[in-house]
Chain A
């Protein structure tokens, strides 16, 4: 199942400068694993231990996966995944 993932500027060095990539997977967790196969090093930018990094936002269409089922959030081919680093500070 092919899914489109929008890559933020911050991570484009890992994707050969591509803004949008295609990958496979039925859940966000599977998609991150597929992305890691295609673009080694991306997982550690997205994850902290077994969870998505606190300051990395991942959306399925308009929904933040934190308010869905996090890594278990299901995706279908018509969905667009967007990754955005949080803007935060003290």
Chain B
């Protein structure tokens, strides 16, 4: 199960709508004890409606920052702008971190604001419950 702060859900949705119709992406990092979560919006280097890739330079900077702060990635999020919040074939193909929650949001007009979380391990997808921590 993914426990996520309400303010992070709002900020992720705002980010996704701001970038719409391009896909938005980012990360939630967590400290060693798991209590401190930090949301980081990433630039989508692909600038595409159907693909995303963390900007490589920014990724290096953010990874160095996480190392300095003894953080690890907890969530990789991205938006689908023309389909539901289900992992695409490419999402599955590129998912490499078994420790991470893959969070998808949809800004498609049919499913506005849909948000779902998955584990993707060795090409196998399992959806998990998300619990929004209200007032955080």
Contact = CB atoms under 8 A, between A and B. Distances in A.
Interface of A: 9-10, 55, 57, 59, 62, 64, 66, 82, 84-90
A90 B130 CA distance: 22
Given A64-B57, A87-B53, A90-B89, 13 more contacts: A9-B97, A55-B53, A57-B56, A57-B59, A64-B56, A82-B63, A84-B56, A86-B94, A87-B76, A88-B90, A89-B88, A89-B94, A90-B52
**6 A-B pairs with the lowest CB-CB distances in the bound complex, closest first:** A90-B90, A89-B91, A90-B88, A88-B53, A87-B54, A57-B56
A66 B55 CA distance: 13
A89 B52 contact: yes
Interface of B: 25, 27, 42, 46, 50-54, 56-57, 59-61, 63, 76, 78, 87-91, 93-97, 99
Nearest to B78: A89
B62 to A, nearest CB: 10
B60 A86 contact: no
B53 A62 contact: no
Contacts of A87: 25, 27, 42, 53-54, 59, 76, 94
A90 B60 contact: no
Contacts of A86: 53-54, 56, 59, 94
